[in-house]
Amino acid sequence: MLDSIVKAVTSLDERKVIKLVKYAAKEGHTTAEIIESIQLGLNQVGKNYEAGQYGVTDLMMAGIIFEEVLKLACLNITSDNPDHGIGKILLCTIESDLHDIGKAIFKSAALMNGFEVIDLGIDVTPATILEKTIELKPNIIAISSIMTNGLKYIKGTHEMLVEANLRNQVKIIIGGLSTHNESVQEVGADAFTKDVYEGIKLCKKWVED
């Protein structure tokens, strides 16, 4: 069953993914098991993209499928987004970037770990991040960037938060193919992660300290 979910996600068959997820939940598989299977499929989608077998629209479709799965009542994920969770995460894919997979995976992990998540979507400008930081007062800003030129916009976000005297009030974690340990200092972030669950562990540490 779980292997079938992996294959359905990899082939971008939304209807089949939804059907299999509902059946797996009915058969007693845990939300964590189901999400892990979906993530394995998404990982393969990413590999197919890197190999040139899939295009940008395929990546976007994979992200849409995952977002639809997160809405399913049988998984009880997005319906359990507390107004006052253990912390508030402002989540987005940075300006000029339309990729959604990494963000979607991070969102599901954050929700399952008790965070309140405000998802701003894709192609989000530094100005919008600043505006929403002022309005919503998150503990953490999580930014995904696949495209290399996204780093300059993350740096711009940091600089705008500094100018607004807000940078010391919020942590910034970055992830995605264009990010790495060296880019943390370059863009003014607090941390980089290539593993969603390690990233969530760090976020929990930040809000607990």
Domains recognised in the chain with CATH numbers: 2-78 (1.10.1240.10), 81-208 (3.40.50.280)
Q: Which positions ≥6 away from 168 have C-beta within 8 Å?
A: none
Is residue 72 exposed (0-12), middle (13-18) or buried (19+ Cβ within 10 Å)? middle
- Residue with structure tokens 């077998």? 53
Residue 120's closest CA among 109, 131, 108?
131
Contact 122, 100 (CB under 8 A): yes
Residue 111's closest CA among 137, 78, 134?
78
Give the global pTM: 0.77
**What is the pLDDT at residue 164?**
97
How many CB atoms neighbour CB 93 within 10 A?
Answer: 27
**What is the pLDDT at residue 118?**
95
Whole-angstrom distance, CA of residue 66 vs CA of residue 37: 11
Whole-angstrom distance, CA of residue 83 vs CA of residue 133: 16
Contact 93, 144 (CB under 8 A): yes
**What is the pLDDT at residue 79?**
46
How many CB atoms neighbour CB 160 within 10 A?
Answer: 18
Averaged over successive runs of 10 residues, the pLDDT of the chain (209 residues) comes to 94 96 94 86 84 86 86 74 81 91 84 90 96 97 91 97 97 90 92 87 93
